[in-house]
Every structure is written in C-alpha cells, then in structure tokens.
Amino acid sequence: MSPQVVNDEAMQAVEVSLKDISRIVCFTDITRVIYSKEKVIEIKNEGKDAFVKNLPIESIDPSTGRATLKYDRRPKEVYLLCGSKTYSLILVPKDIPATTIYLRSSSGERENASKYERANDYDNTIFNLIKTVYRQEIPNGYQETDISALAKSFQQADIVHTRDYT
C-alpha cells in the first residue's frame, strides 16, 4: 500500500490497519501523542515515529464459551505534537495491511529539499534519493503524487509509472 501524506494541521482522516501496526512519521521528533484511552488503541512514539495498534477486544461466546477477538472499526481521534505543530488525525481502521502515514509541513518544504540536495555531492544525492524512494519513503522537502499509469509494455513485463516526487 502506498504511504499516506498529511499536509499541515487541519483535521484529516487517514486509513490505518485494523489488525496490524501502522506507522506515523513526522518531519521532526514527536514530543507528545494525545488520544482517548477508552478508544481501544495503543500508540507508542519513538523519535520521529509513532506506532499505532488497534487493540482487539476479547469476548466470550455465550453458547460455546469460546473466547473470540473483535476489533473496533470506529474512527479514533489522535493529536500529535511535532515541533511547534499539532496534527489532528482521525484514524479510520480498515482491513488493510500495515500502512505508513507521513506528516508534512508546507512551510519550509522547499528549503528542506534544497538543503537535502546540497548536503552531498551530486552522485550521493541521487543515490540517497533513489534509496529513499525504493524504501517507499518520501524524501525531505518533496511531495508525492500517485500516478499508476502503464509506461511501456513488453512481452514478459510491464513498466508502470507509479509515483512522481516534486
């Protein structure tokens, strides 16, 4: 699944995995995570990353006496403090694999891209950009656009243009 990007501080709904751990990545260290404990989720943050788990609720089937796990599919509000910005997210649990959500700040994005590109020589910069995109991460200061268009078709393979980074 393609990473999701949240720009700026407006309340935004994002899809998270119903059963797997989803990851939220900030442009700087996440200093605080605020959410309602009764929403049956667990969020742990470490540096620039926060890991979100939709916790299962164990229930006993009265007819069989067997324990079953059920997952709460209701949306959950979360507030993350990244530097001087507060991001308001509505986490929408879906039956999807683990996903990554990037928190971006529009102010300073171009400066970050420019710094990133000038930090090393040309060859290392290109190498680092390719490595970052290969890991399905978004390079600092860049915006991602999903394309998913067939670029070229061969007898045994297709080349698909999946994303643009600008």
Q: What is the pLDDT of residues 7-61, one digit of tens each?
A: 776 789 999 999 999 999 988 899 999 999 888 899 999 999 999 999 998 888 8
Q: Which amino acid is at 145?
A: T
Supply the pLDDT for residue 43.
95
Model confidence, pTM:
0.65
Supply the pLDDT for residue 129.
82
* Cα gap 64→41, rounded to integer Å: 28
Q: What is the pLDDT of residues 51-78, one digit of tens each?
A: 999 999 888 888 888 888 899 999 999 9
Domain boundaries, the chain: 4-104, 109-165
Q: Give the architecture (CATH level 2) of 4-104.
A: Sandwich (2.60)
b/e map 60-83, b = 16+ CB within 10 Å: eeeeeeeeeeeeeeeebebebbbe
Tokens representing 39 are 């929403």
Structure confidence at residue 83 as a pLDDT band (50, 70, 90):
confident
